[in-house]
Amino acid sequence: MALVLDSGPLYAALDRTDANHRVCRRLIEAATEPLIVPSPVLVEVDYWIQQRLHPGILVALLDDIAAGAFAVEDVLREDYRRIRDICDRYADADIGFVDAAVLAIVERLNETKVATLDRRHFGLLRPRHVDTLTLLPA
């Protein structure tokens, strides 16, 4: 089993001024399973780092990835059909590419939980492999 990270908890763990910093940092540091970062999440986190923090934070994150603290999971060719279906099915709920990619990767990896602060979107999404996902932090 692994813990798949959405953008919110990863960013919050990096930004000491974020209201969710402590809980997200604790979640990541206490994880005993591999931490999986879908590759689209990195693009979103990079955007927020560039907007709110400084480039050294991104460099430190990349160092952590290179050291094996996080495993990056790329979107595979077969994931794009599922991402498309999710975006279409939840178009009225404003589900975008990153959230759809996170769900597609969670399904492909057969994971039952996701670390996210986006309860609104991930609370709506219905995965194919389980009735509901466990959303962390609780």
Say how far residue 99 (Cα) sits from the centre of its chain: 8
- By 3-state DSSP, what share of the chain in percent is helix, strand and coil, each rounded to 5? 55, 10, 30
Task: Specify burial of residue 17 (Cβ count, 10 A radius: 0-12, 13-18, 19+).
Answer: exposed
Q: What residues pair up with 3 in beta bridges, in sequence order?
A: 35
Q: How many CA atoms lie within 13 A of 20 on its CB side?
A: 17
5's CB contacts (< 8 A; 6+ apart) are 28, 35, 36, 37, 38, 41, 70, 114, 115
Question: Per-domain residue ranges for the chain?
Answer: 3-136
Pairing of strands 71-73, 35-38: parallel
**20 pLDDT above the threshold of 90:** yes
pLDDT at 138: 87
List pLDDT tens digits, range 118-134. 999 999 999 999 999 99
60-94 per-position pLDDT tens digit = 999 999 999 999 999 999 999 999 999 999 999 99
In 3D space, the residue among 110, 109, 114 whose CA is nearest the CA of residue 99 turns out to be 114
C-alpha–C-alpha distance, residues 66 and 54, integer Å = 19
To the question of domain 3-136 being in CATH 3.40.190.10, the answer is: no
